A and B are shown apart, each in its own frame.
Chain A
Amino acid sequence: MNKILKIFSGSTLISLVAILLGLIVGAIVMLAGGYDPFLAYQSLFSQVFGNTYDFGETLREVTPLILTGFAFAFAARAGLFNIGGEGQFIIGMTAATVIGIKVHGLPIYIHAPLAIIAGGLFGGIWAAIVGYLKAKRGVNEVITSIMLNWIALYLANFIVRHFLLMEGKQRSEDILPTASIAFPWLSSLMNNARIHWGMLVAVLCAFFFFYFMWKTKQGYELRAVGSNPNAAQYAGMNVGRNVVKAMFISGIFAGLAGAFQILGVFQYQSVMSGSPGTGFDGIAVGLIGMNNPFGILLGAFLFGTLTYGSAGMSFGAGVPPELIRIVIGSIIFFIAAQGIVRWVIKPFYFKRKKEKVL
């Protein structure tokens, strides 16, 4: 536990200051637009924490963000830029939907896990394609993942439209009740907020991420490949295999996120006119969490709170909810450009140190 704390204690202060600075930028933008920032932030937080239903829905919003955040961060630790979380998310959704609708006669404790595993597995395979092409053919992972995002979107629509369609609707049939991972007991406690088991799995994934990356030999290899592929190769590691492995695990996270959205929240899959964006938001979450699993839990909570709360901000203070993207963008900006943050906190920092010395 001490080590877990150690991993993010160094960056915690910078993250907190970055979040504060991001909120301040948001406030300045609101002032410039003639809005009341205090009222806006107040309505934002009361939207999220005001009643149990909205708090439950915020947690629902947070769950897939945690996992797509992991998807980005896991690959990033291995030196890969996985911009394809979006496509892996969609493929995970589709695989779970197919299993959820087409497989009959299984008891719930087999059907639901099967659908989840299918989602994660196909998400992983979708990402592994990127890793394989990079390892074997040296094709830039950014370009293949962008292309695979689009292919996933159209492939998913094709599957829904041709095999799963509900008569006369632009969506699939409902998944069978045995595939649902909704959490009825907790849901009813929270005024029917769409709470599901995915939340628990997402938190467990954080521990898996941490354990795998920092406690196993394979995790060590991935990080070695990530920080210096040439040195890793020289040390006898198979760089190509590690690239594929990192992408595969990364894709599993995003695929799970997609599966949970179907099995826990929507219970069906729509024909999509555009990308859902959850995979891209995961990049932001990964960055806010500084690619650390526990940082990402907090980052996703922050991201989800701000996004879900932005609706309240719009009702309560008339501020367009898009403002929150500016806040999130600024937070990431300040986390990335730590030089600015250090410069801001320097005076306080020195003062404190001096007191200690005295």
Chain B
Amino acid sequence: MDWVTTLGQLINTTLVFSTALIFAALGGIFSERSGVTNLGLEGFMMFGAFASAVGTYYAEEAGMGAASPWIGMIAALVLGVITSLIHAVASITFKADQTISGIVINFLAAGATLYLVKLIFDGSGETPLLMEVFNKVSIPWLSQIPIIGEGLFHNYPTTYIAIILVFVGYYVLFKTPFGLRLRAVGEHPSAADTAGINVNRMRYIGVMISGGLAALGGATVTLTTTSTFAHNTISGQGYIAIAAMIFGKWNPLGAFGAAAFFGLSQAVRTYVTLFDWSKDIPQEFIYMLPYLLTIIVLVAAVGRSAAPSALGQPYDPSKR
């Protein structure tokens, strides 16, 4: 086997697997930086995967052709933002326990998406196979570079968007007044309030961005990997995204690294079987590897993770 090609392909597969995690983890960061725990990422991804499948399907029917998956992405974004309001209303306005509210999202998403799929597609448990999904795009010139060309510049458009969003997210959070306010609200809401920042409004915005981004993450799973939405399209990625967010210390760049790490260990899983020596390792251990490594890395290097200090606490001005 040609090493250069293999390495390039490995990087490429890593990015394919990481894309959804990057979107969702980034979403989680925006919510949690504003002080609202978001365990509902899995649910938002499910809503997104569902909306993108249905949106793309109807766009195809309407003859939109290659634009269809983009319509699907928009549908996912819209549904993600709308459903995030459930979490926002419960946890911000009604001061419900935020972890519970997040779990509610997961429950509602699991039920609602399949209920709707069965309703729309006459009792079938999954959407029809989509014809128009995203294809890999090669960037001229750059894709000719050995290893990196195959690895980085021959990818799905969603992957490029995810990576760009990491840097945009970093810039917005740490270099703009908006980001400063968002973080202030998550660190010290009463101080932020005194400084004239509307705490609840900032938190609503954080949660809505979160829902939208996580839904886009779910959409990328449908539109690049599975081409259909079924009950198992999103199975656990949302929880991995939460792990990536904590692992990356609530920083977009860190979360990107963590997501890439998970993507890599998934990619390795598929590549390792190409080698003869892998026959001696039980496949279960190869599957276990990413999760085991995460724990080891957390224990050995990262240690105490510093969550935003007001995370999980509803803001009550009367208790200042």
Whether A81 lies near B114 (C-beta < 8 A) is no
Majority SS at the chain B contact face: helix
Distance in angstroms from A319 CB to nearest chain B CB is 8
A283→B114 CA distance, assembly (Å):
21
Whether A337 lies near B90 (C-beta < 8 A) is yes
Q: Report which of B95, B111, B292 forms a contact with A339, defined as CB distance below 8 A.
A: B95
A284 at the binding interface (Cβ < 8 Å): yes
Contacts of B246 in A (CB 8 A): 140, 142-143
Whether B291 lies near A325 (C-beta < 8 A) is no
Interface-located stretch among B131-139, B147-155, B282-290: B282-290
A333→B302 CA distance, assembly (Å):
35
Contacts of A150 in B (CB 8 A): 236, 287-288, 291
Q: Report which of B94, B99, B284, B295 forms a contact with A157, defined as CB distance below 8 A.
A: B284
Q: Which residue of A lies closest to B97 (CB)?
A: A336
Whether B299 lies near A147 (C-beta < 8 A) is no
Known: A143-B243, A339-B94. 18 other contacts (CB 8 A): A81-B99, A138-B304, A138-B305, A139-B305, A143-B246, A143-B247, A143-B305, A147-B243, A158-B282, A287-B100, A320-B115, A323-B111, A325-B107, A328-B107, A329-B111, A337-B90, A339-B93, A340-B94
Q: Report which of A162, A324, A327, A333 forms a contact with B282, defined as CB distance below 8 A.
A: A162
- Given A144-B295, A146-B240, A323-B111: A336 and B284 interface contact (C-beta under 8 Å): no
Contact with B along A143-170 (1 / 0, CB 8 A): 1101110110011011001100000000
Distance in angstroms from A86 CB to nearest chain B CB is 10
User: Which chain B residues numbered 35 to 59 have a C-beta less than 8 Å away from chain A?
Assistant: 39
A298 at the binding interface (Cβ < 8 Å): no
- Given A143-B243, A146-B242, A336-B100: A155 and B107 interface contact (C-beta under 8 Å): no
User: Which chain B residues numbered 216 to 252 have a C-beta less than 8 Å away from chain A?
Assistant: 232, 235-236, 239-240, 242-243, 246-247
Whether A322 lies near B247 (C-beta < 8 A) is no
- Given A322-B115, A337-B94: A147 and B110 interface contact (C-beta under 8 Å): no
Q: Report which of A143, A162, A339 forms a contact with B298, defined as CB distance below 8 A.
A: A143
Contacts of B85 in A (CB 8 A): none
B146 at the binding interface (Cβ < 8 Å): no
A146→B110 CA distance, assembly (Å):
19
Contacts of B96 in A (CB 8 A): 333, 336-339
Q: Which residue of B lies closest to A130 (CB)?
A: B295
A29 at the binding interface (Cβ < 8 Å): yes
Whether B103 lies near A325 (C-beta < 8 A) is no
Between-chain CB contacts (< 8 Å), 9 pairs: A146-B242, A150-B291, A151-B292, A274-B232, A284-B103, A323-B111, A325-B108, A332-B103, A337-B89
B84 at the binding interface (Cβ < 8 Å): no
B165 at the binding interface (Cβ < 8 Å): no
Contact with A along B280-314 (1 / 0, CB 8 A): 00101101100110110011001111010000000
Most B-side CB within 10 Å, residue of A147, A327, A328, A340: A147
A330 at the binding interface (Cβ < 8 Å): yes
Whether B100 lies near A137 (C-beta < 8 A) is no
B101 at the binding interface (Cβ < 8 Å): yes
Q: Report which of B110, B235, B285, B303 forms a contact with A139, defined as CB distance below 8 A.
A: B303
Distance in angstroms from A88 CB to nearest chain B CB is 15
Distance in angstroms from A304 CB to nearest chain B CB is 15
Contacts of B235 in A (CB 8 A): 274-275
Contacts of B103 in A (CB 8 A): 283-284, 287, 332
Contacts of A81 in B (CB 8 A): 99
- Given A142-B242, A332-B103: A147 and B108 interface contact (C-beta under 8 Å): no
- Given A154-B288, A287-B100: A322 and B118 interface contact (C-beta under 8 Å): yes
Contacts of A326 in B (CB 8 A): 107-108, 111-112, 115
A33 at the binding interface (Cβ < 8 Å): yes
Distance in angstroms from A239 CB to nearest chain B CB is 14
A133 at the binding interface (Cβ < 8 Å): yes
Contacts of A284 in B (CB 8 A): 103, 107
**Size class of the contact patch on chain B:** 35 or more
Whether A320 lies near B288 (C-beta < 8 A) is no
- Given A144-B295, A336-B100, A339-B94: A323 and B115 interface contact (C-beta under 8 Å): yes
Interface residues of A (CB under 8 A from B): 29, 33, 81, 83, 133, 137-140, 142-144, 146-148, 150-151, 154-155, 157-158, 161-162, 274-275, 283-284, 287, 320, 322-330, 332-333, 335-340
Contacts of A335 in B (CB 8 A): 100
Contacts of B86 in A (CB 8 A): 333
Distance in angstroms from A27 CB to nearest chain B CB is 13
A210→B46 CA distance, assembly (Å):
37
Contacts of B288 in A (CB 8 A): 150-151, 154-155
B123 at the binding interface (Cβ < 8 Å): yes
A327→B107 CA distance, assembly (Å):
9
- Given A151-B292, A336-B101: A322 and B114 interface contact (C-beta under 8 Å): yes
Whether A137 lies near B242 (C-beta < 8 A) is no
Distance in angstroms from A24 CB to nearest chain B CB is 15
B191 at the binding interface (Cβ < 8 Å): no
Q: Report which of A133, A151, A322 forms a contact with B291, defined as CB distance below 8 A.
A: A151
Most A-side CB within 10 Å, residue of B108, B111, B285: B111
The 5 closest A-B pairs by CB, nearest first: A325-B111, A329-B107, A138-B304, A158-B284, A329-B108
Contacts of A158 in B (CB 8 A): 282, 284-285
Whether A139 lies near B112 (C-beta < 8 A) is no
B104 at the binding interface (Cβ < 8 Å): yes
Distance in angstroms from A240 CB to nearest chain B CB is 13
Distance in angstroms from B137 CB to nearest chain A CB is 32
Whether B303 lies near A143 (C-beta < 8 A) is no
Contact with A along B103-144 (1 / 0, CB 8 A): 111011011101100110001000000000000000000000
Most B-side CB within 10 Å, residue of A33, A139, A330, A333: A333
A251→B123 CA distance, assembly (Å):
39
Contacts of A142 in B (CB 8 A): 39, 242-243, 246
Distance in angstroms from B243 CB to nearest chain A CB is 5
Contacts of A157 in B (CB 8 A): 284
